[in-house]
Amino acid sequence: MMKKTAIAPANIAFIKYWGKRDVRLNLPTNGSISMNLSAFHTITTVAFNQTKSDQIFLNGIPAGKQEALRISAQLDRIRSLAQVSFPARISSKNNFPTGVGIASSASGFAALTLAASRALGLRLSKRKLSILARRGSGSACRSIPDGFVEWIPGTSDENSYARSLYPASHWDLHDLVVLVSRRSKKVGSSEGHSLVLTSPFFEARLREIAGRLRRLKQALGRKDFRIFGEIIEEEALNMHAVMMTSKPALFYLEPVSLAVMHKVVAWREEGLESYFTLDAGPTVHIICQGKDSKKLAQQLKAVSGVMELVDNEAVVGARVIEENLF
Amino acid sequence: MMKKTAIAPANIAFIKYWGKRDVRLNLPTNGSISMNLSAFHTITTVAFNQTKSDQIFLNGIPAGKQEALRISAQLDRIRSLAQVSFPARISSKNNFPTGVGIASSASGFAALTLAASRALGLRLSKRKLSILARRGSGSACRSIPDGFVEWIPGTSDENSYARSLYPASHWDLHDLVVLVSRRSKKVGSSEGHSLVLTSPFFEARLREIAGRLRRLKQALGRKDFRIFGEIIEEEALNMHAVMMTSKPALFYLEPVSLAVMHKVVAWREEGLESYFTLDAGPTVHIICQGKDSKKLAQQLKAVSGVMELVDNEAVVGARVIEENLF
């Protein structure tokens, strides 16, 4: 019964992955740090030798050509490790909409990699799983380990992987994900990555980032929320400054995103402490401590233009589960 | 009758003044290029020897302490040139609100410098006037010459001044000034200038800017609107990227500013061509050709949150006029 189902969380990066030193291997130009998100996940069932060729369903619909090619390429890597060539039947479901700033490829390729490797009887280490997931989609490597995660950038396929810095229980941080638009992005992350070198600021970003990683790890270890928050805002603005000075300019923020950011700063000045971060999209991630999450969620929902709010905590990484999507 | 009145326009910079190499002399880190604005001006009457001490009214109200000190210091420079020490009576009026992204100090110090020097019988060259105006407020040097103006950054008080590149008639460009907020800025331009060195991107900005100045001058000479527009957007985003990565981060844009910018890009894709630029404030400047100004003005006014729109053309610089504000 070469069939397994896995669940993997999406993750929010506090220090971002933006720029590749190797496009084929998804080696990043810099390390990154993230937290797995409790409310956003992908569940994927993989079964081998039930079909004549790879048969892939995403959210109940046959995968498009580009998606199917990318997924089959990832399956090939796993089949080659197991030294088999069985076709795979796959069903994968996200519990969240795609293209709104929640990285579906991260949870998706993490769940796929774990389910497919276990279905073929492979017992890979977390490090090896993370490396494999990275080949499918860079940030997917961070959805394998538990809780608070660091992606060590490495210099080759073998040493670029993510590991858990702390379990989810380490710190009661919340990520209030504020959806402001269901419009799909004009420029996807992969294309964005390739534009990074056209920004005059990218080199300066790289020079700074090692220091920022070190400071963030310290603040995470000491649970110093103020320092932690200041660093993640600095980092998000730094990445968006690089994006908006790329050629062509990448402009992911919507007016409502900016309104939410202004509110967060104003509330903080009044004593209600939270900090924003942003990925390559209009969605705003508001990071707060558990004690403030309910009040902040309430206030954020009242901001004009906010479409939906999802409260996340830190959570474990990819897991095999007993479910079956077929 | 040591009394004169002068009028001077505000100006919009296409390549920005952001960063000082000498704070006392207002020597800029880089050259800049601007256009005088036909709809925003300051009128200033200066009379010497009518009062016992400097008496300064701004928009009908006695100047605040900080403002008065700054204006008297500028008067001292002019009195010292004329080798007199007469007290001055001053009335100065802007035809636009302050603190919304129209540089009132530019038109203000240009008008003051011209009126005061002429009231004392000084016949200064345009270059000398521009140098003097610069001492009062950096960008004021650009409101002295006519039309399209370049500020040559220079290396000393004597060689940092603005000159006209082309008269106002050279090109029928319009600046549709879109006011989105009457809230005064939290961080003024002077403080912003001093934060520029805290951005990791400032050096990279400086390395690029000579090339951008050269390309903009070419496009201005050839009246190549597409190239011109692409450069000014690139420059505005570049400056705001430096601002938002300063420590603390300077965040001048309001949600409505961003909405206007998105609209301009969308309309352009549909064939209605205009480009945005931004100073240190939420006001958006939409640069277009005369043939499109009416249609664009109409569409911009319909954008939700836009408070007011003012259509500007290029105009002559500071002039002595026969009016009298007393």
pLDDT in tens, A181-228: 766 556 667 777 889 889 999 999 999 999 999 999 999 999 999 999
Q: Are B184 and B154 part of one and the same domain? A: no
Window B:230-259, CB contacts with A under 8 Å = 233-234, 237-238, 240-242, 244-245, 247, 249, 251, 253-256, 258-259
3-class DSSP string for B44-60: EEEEECCCCCCEEEECC
Which chain B residue has its CA at the smallest distance from A234's CA?
Answer: B245
Mutation pick from A197, A208, A233, A244 vs chain B, by most beta carbons of B within 10 Å, is: A244
Nearest-neighbour CA in chain A from B191: distance (Å): 19
| CATH for A134 | 3.30.230.10
DSSP secondary structure string, A155-207? SSGGG-EEEEEE-GGG--EEEEEEE---SPPSS-HHHHHHHGGGSTTHHHHHH
pLDDT in tens, B97-111: 766 567 789 999 999
Amino acid found at A261: M
Looking at beta carbons, which residues of chain A come within 8 Å of B259?
A: 255
Q: Among A240, A241, A255, whose Cβ lies nearest the Cβ of B255?
A: A255
Mutation pick from B197, B201, B252, B278 vs chain A, by most beta carbons of A within 10 Å, is: B201
pLDDT in tens, B68-92: 999 999 999 999 999 999 999 999 9
Residues B242, A241: C-beta atoms closer than 8 Å: yes
Angle, helices B126-136/B65-82, rounded to nearest 10 degrees: 150
- Record the tokens describing residue B26, joined without a space: 């207002």
Q: Are A145 and A9 part of one and the same domain? A: yes
Number of domains in chain A: 2
Does residue B322 belong to any structural domain of this protein? no
Does residue B321 belong to any structural domain of this protein? no
- The interface predicted TM-score (ipTM) is 0.87
Domain boundary residue among A104, A135, A169?
A169
Residues A200, B200: C-beta atoms closer than 8 Å: no
Domain that holds residue A152: 3-169
Nearest-neighbour CA in chain A from B251: distance (Å): 9
Does residue A320 belong to any structural domain of this protein? no
Predicted structure pTM score? 0.91
Q: Are B185 and B218 part of one and the same domain? A: yes
Q: Output the CA–CA distances (angstroms, integers) from residue B133 to B23, B73, B150, B162, in the order listed.
A: 15, 12, 14, 10
Which residue matches tokens 């200064």?
B124
Which chain B residue has its CA at the smallest distance from A238's CA?
Answer: B245
- Record the tokens describing residue A69, joined without a space: 């090619």
CA dist A77 and B294 (Å) reads: 60
Q: Are B100 and B199 part of one and the same domain? A: no
Q: Are B197 and B61 part of one and the same domain? A: no
Pairs of residues, one from chain A and one from chain B, whose beta carbons lie less than 8 Å apart: 69
Domain boundary residue among B128, B150, B169?
B169
Q: Are A229 and A178 in contact (CB under 8 A)?
A: no
Which chain A residue has its CA at the smallest distance from B260's CA?
Answer: A255
Q: Are A199 and A306 part of one and the same domain? A: yes
Which chain B residue has its CA at the smallest distance from A231's CA?
Answer: B247
Q: Among A237, A249, A255, whose Cβ lies nearest the Cβ of B244?
A: A237
Which chain A residue has its CA at the smallest distance from B253's CA?
Answer: A258
pLDDT in tens, chain A (326 residues): 899 999 999 999 999 999 999 999 999 999 999 999 999 999 999 999 999 999 999 999 999 999 999 999 999 999 999 999 999 999 999 998 766 567 789 999 999 999 999 999 999 999 999 999 999 999 999 999 999 999 999 999 999 999 999 999 999 999 999 998 766 556 667 777 889 889 999 999 999 999 999 999 999 999 999 999 999 999 999 999 999 999 999 988 999 999 999 999 999 999 999 999 999 889 999 999 999 999 999 999 999 999 999 999 999 999 999 999 99
Does residue A262 belong to any structural domain of this protein? yes
Q: Are A165 and A178 part of one and the same domain? A: no
Nearest-neighbour CA in chain A from B16: distance (Å): 15
Domain boundary residue among B169, B196, B220?
B169
Q: Among A241, A262, A265, whose Cβ lies nearest the Cβ of B241?
A: A241
What three-state secondary structure class fits A218?
A: helix
Q: Does B197 touch chain A (CB under 8 A)?
A: no
Helices and strands, number each (H, E), in chain A:
8, 14
Which chain B residue has its CA at the smallest distance from A305's CA?
Answer: B255
